[in-house]
Structure 1
């Protein structure tokens, strides 16, 4: 797996003032062989506010590598995919349950995630 890009963003509500939940989409674009693949992790926005309970990080940005700073939503899908490569079989994972969401990050080696990001930055023109 060769990682091309990773991002995260808040999705727009259909009606800005509606009481519906907001959602986060964390995404990784990578190459598997010669094919470009996309993996998306989608979860309710309020999970993002509690990331410190499932990571060793207290505040954002969670990973900094001069001159870049990455928030949890930007690295969540990358961390999940690095820890659980079996998710490469899925294109999209929607997680509406907090307990399920928290369990996804129990085995993440955050040092590994940070090292992968730093390696990507070294080779990015």
Structure 2
């Protein structure tokens, strides 16, 4: 699976009574068998705050800060390759969100991002 890009962003309100500004979307674009796909994960921003990861860079890549919202979908895809067949996932439970980062150290994240940056390929092995 070739990783083309990954990013994350905080949603903004489109209507005054909308709860959108409480959510974050993380996306990863990848290729499987020469087909480009996008996996989008939507989750409650509060989960980042509970893990003490909100607005704190996890690491840097090419001198640019990388935030948890940037890599959530990437880590989900690498941890669970069956997600390559999904387009959108909504994480509604904090425990489910925490599982994405279980056994993933900062050094491992740096190694994954370095691999993606250099070759476009990554794995958790």
Comparing 96-105 with 41-50, greater Cα deviation is found at: 96-105
Q: Which whole-Å CA distance do the structure 2 matches of 1:78 and 1:26 have between them?
A: 8
Give how far 1:97 is off.
1.6
- Length, aligned pairs only: 119
Q: Which whole-Å CA distance do the structure 2 matches of 1:26 and 1:51 have between them?
A: 16
* Equivalent residues of 1:78, 1:113 under 8 A apart: no
> Who is 1:32 aligned against?
32
Give how far 1:37 is off.
0.6
Structure 1 segment 1-125 matched on structure 2, within 5 A: 1-16=1-16, 18=17, 20=19, 22-52=22-52, 60-108=56-104, 111-122=107-118
Give how far 1:19 is off.
6.8
Match of 2:46, SS? helix
- CA change 1:123–1:88 in 2 (3 A) is closer
Give how far 1:99 is off.
2.1
Q: Which whole-Å CA distance do the structure 1 matches of 2:117 and 2:89 have between them?
A: 26
Q: Which whole-Å CA distance do the structure 1 matches of 2:32 and 2:107 have between them?
A: 23
Comparing 106-115 with 30-39, greater Cα deviation is found at: 106-115
* Equivalent residues of 1:83, 1:109 under 8 A apart: no
Superposed CA RMSD: 2.4
Give how far 1:82 is off.
1.0
Match of 1:61, SS? coil
